[in-house]
Amino acid sequence: MGIIVKEDRLFLLNTRNTSYAFFRDDDGILVQLYWGKKIERPEDYDTETMVWEQGYHPAVDKKREECSSFGMMRYKEASMKFIFSDGVRDFRYRMQEYRAEGDRLDIVLQDQHYPLRVTLHYQVHEELDIIEKWREAENLGEETIGAERFFSGEFTLPGNGYRSINCNGTWADEFKGYEDTLCAGKKIYESMRGATAHVATPAFIVHQDADETRGEVWFAALAWSGNFKVIAEQTPYDYLNLQIGISDTDFCWNLKGGETFVSPRVYAGFSDEGLGKMSNILHRFAAQRVMPSASAERPLRVLYNSWEATTFQVTCEGQMELAKKAAQAGAELFVVDDGWFGQRSSDHLGLGDWYVNPEKFPEGLKPLIDCVKGLGMDFGIWIEPEMVNENSDLYRAHPDWIYRYSTRPVLEGRYQYMLDLTNPEVIRFIVDFIDRLLSENDISYIKWDMNRAMGECAAPHLEKEEYQSIWYRHVQGFYSIIEELRRRHPMVEFEACASGGGRVDFGCLSRFDEFWTSDNTDPLDRLSIQETYSLLYPPKYMRAWITDAADSADRRVPLSFKAHCAMCGSLGIGMDLNRLGEDGLAELAGYVEEYKRLRPIIQFGRLSRLQSGRKDDLYAVEYDKDGEAVLFVFLQLRPRGKYEYTVKLRNLEETAVYAVEADGRVLEKSGAYLMNHGLVLNMRADFSSKCIHLKKR
């Protein structure tokens, strides 16, 4: 059973392999007991309060709380903070009641004096080994209550010395995979950019000496695409406190009488078999519970995107030329990127003017779309709906539609301003232009970009008391637009892009069909970006292009290496096909064909990171599904005198025999051999790579 409540005070949340337990103590405070491998017997848990006051350390500060609130002599980080109209700033709650039904638990906390109620919500995804948490604050009175911090979840782990891995990075170098030990004190990372951002990922991964296949790992990912904060505090009381939620830096939500405020959701889990199992849990959960249902089962098409070939120099003829070659290469979707609209000849102008540029497309998009369709491909297009250039008709007509401080010059990022999505008129404008674009043209894919971060949080049509909620309201506006468009155009595929991986998060995962993972398309960098990305997010959502980015005057990377790297996710092509030549095009078409054959295993299979180029000579990643597997292996620089590498596979059947298709030969090997002895591979040159298909006989 997913949820067990004992004596109205012990709450035990069991999934297939894990347990999460907390209890209400005699002070009415919820205290955590356990998070880890399954201990399903409620009788095993001791609900006596073992925490006592100790001179300088109040008991409440020492408790491993499920939901701490600022004040009451708590000195640790607290996961909520409210301010009442009389200036009181501590929320003194008692657990009032709970409701447990099926896989759902709601626990109601009530302030002892003020009309504030907070409900802690839990959804147990028993078969998927995920516990979902979120919170709701309700003002039952008339005076406004300010929610200054309202995180989604708090987790504690006993002891110390935990290691933490994060997926933070920077633009064009996302997902660095930093690792460190959590010592006394706090580690905090957050985004204050209005989007989740390249620099920080809204998730935590904490472990004790875990690797890919061994060790205990605790993890959580936030379903939110705006400012967030993750805090890991090694308290003085021999436990680690982990908190995750929307950022409280410059945040206040004014909860008016009768209103409620709901936090984003956090998905948390535990693996006793290292990081590999953690990723499998999250990928499976994403596919079964988070992705839009239309997207979860639909394979993603191989796309061609013209951005790196043409940048802003888009013309109808030029795109048609590329389309012919893209079709020859086997692309299924042709995407025109930035530069097709308004007066958009560079990034200095045109954003906001979503009409087809008449010089570039004198007869509109139709001739190009007809050409693309005639070549057997679908058509897609790029937009950046939340932005406007100063040099645009939109800005000239509506200078009050952007975020700005009236007394300051407006801040530019990539020469653009951010539209005020807290304004319903702006939302209507955006929904209408995209709806028109999709209704008037045969477009089946949209790449939604966002190329600057938020700056000034002031909006002309809002009261100044609401300014600190703009960070949050912007994301609500963004979500409302994409949700409305999906409702009106359910068959259209949407890609979330923010100058690369600035919007890779579980909030976008439930509203988009894929992510643009990074603007860095050099496969040598991509391999490590992709590796860390896969810790949290499914490979299917990882758009990856074959491009020329790795080549320079003194380095040429073979097409095979570039193609195999991009084939590890949802394949795209982004290179200038005019420079490829007939032989190159034929070789490219071969990889695309191979990808299409293996696509069900790569996009819908289980991923295993076998070897990391950060630690070994090789990167090796395997995907398996229904008795088949695909293995990609990459050697960047061959150490002198080394020609052979052995790669051990995972998740095969020991006793089954597999046909192993590699280098034009088919070998037969048992699962036991492949997993224990390993596959011996000949890798003789720098930038060698292999794509190997295994099929159970």
Q: Is 174 in the site for ligand DGJ (CB under 6 A)?
A: no
Least distance from ligand DGJ to the Cβ atom of residue 497, Å: 5
- To the question of whether residue 67 is assigned a binding role by annotation, the answer is no
Member of 103, 138, 233, 338 binding ligand DGJ (CB under 6 A) = 338
Q: Is 519 in the site for ligand DGJ (CB under 6 A)?
A: yes
Distances (CA, A) of 63 to 60, 75, 158, 239: 5, 11, 11, 9
- To the question of whether residue 695 is assigned a binding role by annotation, the answer is no
Least distance from ligand DGJ to the Cβ atom of residue 689, Å: 24
Least distance from ligand DGJ to the Cβ atom of residue 580, Å: 20
- To the question of whether residue 626 is assigned a binding role by annotation, the answer is no
Cβ-based neighbour number of residue 661 at 10 Å: 15
Cβ distance to ligand DGJ smaller for residue 322 or 497:
497
Member of 354, 478, 515, 516 binding ligand DGJ (CB under 6 A) = 516
- To the question of whether residue 451 is assigned a binding role by annotation, the answer is yes
Which H, E and C letters describe 361-397, residue by residue? CCCCCHHHHHHHHHCCCEEEEEECCCEEECECHHHHH
Which runs of consecutive H residues, i.e. helices, occur in 496-647? 506-509, 523-536, 559-566, 581-604
Residue nearest to ligand DGJ (CB): 338
Sequence-ordered list of residues with C-beta below 8 angstroms from that of 399, at least 6 positions apart, any chain = none
Member of 123, 422, 451, 510 binding ligand DGJ (CB under 6 A) = 451
Q: Is 239 in the site for ligand DGJ (CB under 6 A)?
A: no
Cβ distance to ligand DGJ smaller for residue 149 or 198:
198
Least distance from ligand DGJ to the Cβ atom of residue 356, Å: 17
Q: Is 382 in the site for ligand DGJ (CB under 6 A)?
A: yes
How far apart (Å, rounded) are the C-alpha atoms in residues 395 and 644? 61
Cβ distance to ligand DGJ smaller for residue 392 or 688:
392
Q: Are 91 and 118 in contact (CB under 8 A)?
A: yes
String of contacts with ligand DGJ for each residue 486-505, x by CB under 6 A: -----------x-xx-----
Sequence-ordered list of residues with C-beta below 8 angstroms from that of 603, at least 6 positions apart, any chain = 299, 300, 539, 540, 570
Q: Are 380 and 446 in contact (CB under 8 A)?
A: yes
* 331 alpha-carbon distance from chain centroid: 26
How far apart (Å, rounded) are the C-alpha atoms in residues 610 and 631? 9
- To the question of whether residue 519 is assigned a binding role by annotation, the answer is yes
Provide the annotated active-site residues: 449, 519
- To the question of whether residue 414 is assigned a binding role by annotation, the answer is yes
Least distance from ligand DGJ to the Cβ atom of residue 644, Å: 39
Sequence-ordered list of residues with C-beta below 8 angstroms from that of 626, at least 6 positions apart, any chain = none
What's the token pair of residue 629? 């597997």
Least distance from ligand DGJ to the Cβ atom of residue 352, Å: 14
Sequence-ordered list of residues with C-beta below 8 angstroms from that of 579, at least 6 positions apart, any chain = 548
Cβ distance to ligand DGJ smaller for residue 174 or 338:
338
Cβ distance to ligand DGJ smaller for residue 47 or 451:
451
What's the token pair of residue 13? 């949340």
Least distance from ligand DGJ to the Cβ atom of residue 346, Å: 10
- To the question of whether residue 617 is assigned a binding role by annotation, the answer is no
Cβ distance to ligand DGJ smaller for residue 246 or 497:
497
List, as own/partner pairs, every contact residues 368-375 make where C-beta atoms lie below 8 angstroms and the sequence separation is at least 24, other chains included: 368/316, 368/319, 368/320, 368/323, 368/336, 369/441, 369/442, 369/443, 371/320, 371/323, 372/323, 372/334, 373/442, 375/323, 375/324, 375/326, 375/327, 375/334
What's the token pair of residue 402? 């952007």
Sequence-ordered list of residues with C-beta below 8 angstroms from that of 416, at least 6 positions apart, any chain = 347, 351, 387, 388, 389, 390, 451, 452
Q: Is 337 in the site for ligand DGJ (CB under 6 A)?
A: yes
Least distance from ligand DGJ to the Cβ atom of residue 519, Å: 5
How far apart (Å, rounded) are the C-alpha atoms in residues 229 and 244? 6
Which residues are 121's β-sheet partners? Answer: 106, 134
Least distance from ligand DGJ to the Cβ atom of residue 414, Å: 8
Q: Are 369 and 381 in contact (CB under 8 A)?
A: no
Least distance from ligand DGJ to the Cβ atom of residue 384, Å: 7
Provide the b/e sequence for 370-390 (b: ≥16 CB within 10 Å).
ebbeebebbbbbbbbbbbbbb
Cβ distance to ligand DGJ smaller for residue 138 or 519:
519
Cβ distance to ligand DGJ smaller for residue 338 or 522:
338
Half-sphere exposure at residue 145, Cβ-oriented, CA atoms within 13 angstroms: 28
Sequence-ordered list of residues with C-beta below 8 angstroms from that of 446, at least 6 positions apart, any chain = 380, 381, 382, 383, 434, 438, 485, 492, 493, 494, 495
Cβ distance to ligand DGJ smaller for residue 105 or 446:
446
The size of the interface with ligand DGJ (CB under 6 A), counted in residues, is 11
Which residues are 273's β-sheet partners? Answer: 215
Cβ distance to ligand DGJ smaller for residue 77 or 338:
338
Q: Are 314 and 641 in contact (CB under 8 A)?
A: no
- To the question of whether residue 337 is assigned a binding role by annotation, the answer is yes
Member of 212, 248, 449, 522 binding ligand DGJ (CB under 6 A) = 449
String of contacts with ligand DGJ for each residue 288-307, x by CB under 6 A: -------------------x
Cβ-based neighbour number of residue 1 at 10 Å: 10
Which residue ranges are tagged as binding site for substrate? 171, 337-338, 414, 447-451, 497, 519
Which residues are part of a known binding site?
171, 337-338, 414, 447-451, 497, 519
Q: Which residues bind ligand DGJ (CB under 6 A)?
A: 307, 337-338, 382, 449, 451, 497, 499-500, 516, 519
